[in-house]
Structure 1
Amino acid sequence: MKNTAKIIVKLAMLVLFLYVTPFYDGLLNCFENSQDFMHNLIYHQQVVAQDISLKKQLNVWSYNENLTLPKDEIKVETTLEDPMIVPGDNKQEKKENSSDASTDKKQNVPSNGKKIYIYNTHQDEKYQGGKTVMDAAVILAGHLEKKGYKVVLETNDFNAYCNTHGLTYNDLYTVSNKYLNDALVNYGGFDLCIDLHRDSVPRAYSYIKIGNKTYAKAMMVVAGSSSNVKSATKISTTLTDMVNKRKNGIMKHVMIRQEAYYNQYVHKGIVLMECGSDYNTFEEVKNTLGIVAQGIDELMKKGW
């Protein structure tokens, strides 16, 4: 009887522990969104129809409504502009890599010769106040451009593409895969590609206060089924350490989802980052992205 009582007490304590920690909220969220959750973990081959009218194509190429920041606040190149870099154009490459290298066309910052592509598979993920992850991508891109990186921001409308081609929310990784490959071809490759998302966790687990500032917590997510899992893990863990070295606690531990792909098999330099949740203010997200940009700069300089 004594042993039975001990087991019951231990089980009760375990249940209580799981209930008061993020495990309960996370498990509940998984069950509530089980269909989307399981679908996004598994790679699905999708064939996209090509017989689309010009009118529908123009709707896809129009200004993305998920990008709420005014156009004049976007100081980096977007994929809706003509590519500045043409694959195989040796004259252009020599010009960019020379000692008196080209300067950024919008911010007049000397180029360090490295290129970064930022996109958002789930473009309509919002923060408090209505700003989206696309707006967050603009902020991160701006910080990186000021450090000398050539940043290309993906602004094609993924949701409009889904509607035009009869696809659903669950097919968004197929859509981002298409535009990711287009960008790799049009710009001659990238040194780093970042798929920027937003998490869905309670407020208590979405922020940290350091000094007089509040920061949104961020987390790197690695696709365990990707053929590039080693490089994605190395980049993610190194970046996490470099950011936390500056402001300890901003980055959560790297999450590895064993059955996921997240397009990370396309290129060795593709990573997925979740910054903040729907409970974070955009100011908190901006505070975090400023520190993340410093970590990315150190990562790129030291190499991965």
Structure 2
Amino acid sequence: MRKKRIKAKLLACVLICMIPTTTFAMGKDDFFRYLIDSSYPEVETEDTNEDKDSASADDKENSEESSDYIKVHVGEENIPSLNTTDDESNASEESILALSNQYKDNVRVTSSSPRMLIYHTHSAETYSNSPSGNYHSEDIKNSVMQVGSLLTTELTNKGWGVIHTTKYHDYPSYNDSYSNSLSTVKSILSQYKSVDIAIDLHRDAVTEVNDKSNASYTTTINGEKVAQFCFVVGMKNENVDKVMKIATDLTNLANEKYPGIAKPVVEKQYGRYNQYVAENGILIEVGCNATSVEEASASVKYIADVLDSYFK
């Protein structure tokens, strides 16, 4: 009798260990799609059902800042990783040295009274040039931070005072990206009261990096192949009407000046993306991991022209 009880207990333990794993494996694709569509707008999926996330509406602010921004990556090529090869590390060091005369403590300020802040919640996002197909790494010269640096220069040349921070917010904890960048934005705004435009610069992501996905995120302007860009709006912002108006106006202006350069505004029903902090909060995605850093960089002068025309 005692032996039977022992066997029963052992069997129960085995079943307890197996059931969660089996359940997760059976439904993981749908589960991933749900999490992605209800969090960060980098990956398009089918069969979206955002209504399931309505319970988060009553969460406390701190809970929203962490849970709303968790991004699940589809496919191994999109798993965040800062494990770089020697070549990647050298490339990173070279790009840091190239910027070292302009940046102090990861910050560049181009005016004593800057009005624009450019930062990167997902600082480690890189483009198709990044070695080994690792699209999240410290490869700065092929990253959104490189694009941000170029945009800073373009806007400065147009007379704007700009702050650009190259601080990593998605490492070591990716899930804390938005709470980390929120702290950075608040800190900078407290030091520079003149800043009223905060731009969170990202790139989008696709699950398959190939010529087809590259073509879907690029266009030709003035005979030059450039990455398309889009504006993202978190619909949970208390100032959502203003955020939406800015994003819509910028999109329309961009396509009026440079037809086809801007994709439609992306609305995320359960996101905030820190767009409520500054008077003018903007989230822009320039290209994707299937576009090259050269294509993303080529669109910078057009983005700067649109921002300059709109805000001046």
Band the TM-score falls in, shorter-chain normalisation = 0.5 to 0.7
1:227 aligns with 2:238: yes
Provide the TM-score with structure 1 as the length reference. Answer: 0.65
User: C-alpha distance in 1, partners of 2:102/2:152?
Assistant: 7
- Say if 1:268 and 1:188 are closer, same or farther in 2 by CA, change over 3 A: closer
Deviation digits for residues 111-170 of structure 1 (CA, Å, limit 9, x no counterpart) = 9x651000010011110212011111001111001111111111223244xx3xxxx312
User: C-alpha distance in 1, partners of 2:309/2:114?
Assistant: 13
RMSD: 3.1
User: C-alpha distance in 1, partners of 2:270/2:163?
Assistant: 29
- Between 234-243 and 191-200, report the one with greater CA deviation: 234-243
- Out of 163, 170, 174, the residue aligned to residue 152 of structure 1 is 163
- Between 182-191 and 292-301, report the one with greater CA deviation: 182-191
- Out of 279, 289, 299, the residue aligned to residue 278 of structure 1 is 289
Query: Residue 95 of structure 2 corresponds to which residue in structure 1?
Result: 69
Q: Which amino acid aligns with 1:186?
A: Q
User: C-alpha distance in 2, partners of 1:184/1:295?
Assistant: 24
Q: Where do residues 19-34 of structure 1 align in structure 2 (5 Å cutoff)? A: 32=32, 34=34
Query: Residue 169 of structure 1 corresponds to which residue in structure 2?
Result: 174
Query: Residue 62 of structure 2 corresponds to which residue in structure 1?
Result: 45
1:200 aligns with 2:214: no
- Say if 1:151 and 1:296 are closer, same or farther in 2 by CA, change over 3 A: same
Q: Which amino acid aligns with 1:234?
A: K
Contact kept, 8 Å, 1:221 with 1:254, in 2: the verdict is: yes
Q: Where do residues 42-191 of structure 1 align in structure 2 (5 Å cutoff)? A: 45=62, 69-73=95-99, 80=106, 115-130=115-130, 131-160=142-171, 163=172, 168-191=173-196
- Say if 1:298 and 1:68 are closer, same or farther in 2 by CA, change over 3 A: farther
TM superposition shift of 1:204: 2.9
Identity %: 28
Q: Which amino acid aligns with 1:231?
A: K
User: C-alpha distance in 2, partners of 1:30/1:37?
Assistant: 11
Instruction: Give structure 1 stretches of 5+ with no counterpart.
Output: 1-28, 49-64, 85-103, 106-110
TM superposition shift of 1:31: 6.1
Query: Residue 21 of structure 2 corresponds to which residue in structure 1?
Result: none
Contact kept, 8 Å, 2:203 with 2:286, in 1: the verdict is: yes
Contact kept, 8 Å, 1:118 with 1:196, in 2: the verdict is: yes
- Say if 1:255 and 1:156 are closer, same or farther in 2 by CA, change over 3 A: same
User: C-alpha distance in 2, partners of 1:205/1:68?
Assistant: 31
The secondary structure found in structure 2 opposite 1:45 is helix
- Out of 240, 248, 257, the residue aligned to residue 268 of structure 2 is 257
Deviation digits for residues 68-103 of structure 1 (CA, Å, limit 9, x no counterpart) = 73444477566645x97xxxxxxxxxxxxxxxxxxx
Provide the TM-score with structure 2 as the length reference. Answer: 0.64
Query: Residue 138 of structure 2 corresponds to which residue in structure 1?
Result: none
Corresponding residue pairs, total = 226
Instruction: Give structure 2 stretches of 5+ with no counterpart.
Output: 1-28, 42-55, 67-90, 131-141, 207-212
Contact kept, 8 Å, 2:151 with 2:300, in 1: the verdict is: yes
- Between 260-269 and 39-48, report the one with greater CA deviation: 39-48
User: C-alpha distance in 2, partners of 1:262/1:207?
Assistant: 25
- Out of 226, 245, 251, the residue aligned to residue 240 of structure 1 is 251
User: C-alpha distance in 2, partners of 1:75/1:197?
Assistant: 24
